[in-house]
Structures are given as structure tokens and as C-alpha cells.
Amino acid sequence: MRRAGQPRHQGRADRRGGTSRTGAKRAGECDGLTGLPEAIEATWPQATVQTCVVHLIRAATRFVSYSDRKAVAAALRPIYQAPSEEAAWEALETFEASELGQRYPAAVRTFTDSWERFAGLMLLPAGTVDAPHRRLEPRKRQNRRP
């Protein structure tokens, strides 16, 4: 029940106790907006918050030269498609040791700085959410140059 002066969404969170009707924990995906993960965690303390993979890749390739973006994006693919957090960390270390990782340390730093939020997706049971690479396909079509 919502109390006076309480936001409408807070009443629903109290009623459900931070879980859905099926008892599953909530999962939120953020695009890097400052304060959004903290707001989600304040509203739903048991929620899993993850950084959007598309926005994370965009941030990682922001300072990569245009001629190397496809190669860097392909080299980052094993990181976000990894089946577990350990496998993703190993893929990140492999990328860091590669020629592209040495040339673009900012791409590695982007993933290491946001690792806690990025790895949130891997903690969820398999089949709970779509694989991140499926979400990237529509973006690829939108970003093609004429």
C-alpha cells in the first residue's frame, strides 16, 4: 500500500518485496546515466543492476580510431558473450595482452572500471534474459553508413 507522500512505484516495490509475482529478483539495465544504478538499488535493494552492453561497447570504442573499430569490437565479443564471469575475465585479460589491447588501454579500462555492473548479467540463471549479442543486431543495422 502506498503511503501519503510516497512515490507510486515505491508502493509496488513494498508490496512485492523487491521481487516479481513469480518470486524472481528484479534486474535493471542502465545506459551509464549518472545516479541511475543507485536509484534502482535504493528502490529495489535486492535488484541486480547491469550496464547495457551496447553502451559499454560504445564507451570502450569511443577513443578507438575508426579504422580499428570493427577489429576492436570483434575482439571484445568473447568478453560479453562469455558463459560465466570467470570466462569473461579471462577473455578481457586475453584482449588486454593482445596488440589491440596494448594499443587501446582505454577500452580495457572501460570494462575493468564497470566490471561489477557488467558482470551482473552473468549472475542471473541461464535463460533469464536474452543474450546481449542478440540485442546488438538491430543496433548494427541502425549504425551502418550509407
pLDDT tens-digit map of 124-142: 666 555 544 445 555 555 5
pLDDT tens-digit map of 42-86: 888 877 777 778 888 999 999 899 999 999 999 999 998 888 889
The answer to whether residue 31 scores a pLDDT higher than 90 is no
Domain ranges of the chain: 25-123+132-137
Strands (E) across 6-100 are located at 27-30, 48-51
| DSSP single-letter state for residue 66 | G
Question: What predicted TM-score, i.e. pTM, was given to this entire model?
Answer: 0.62
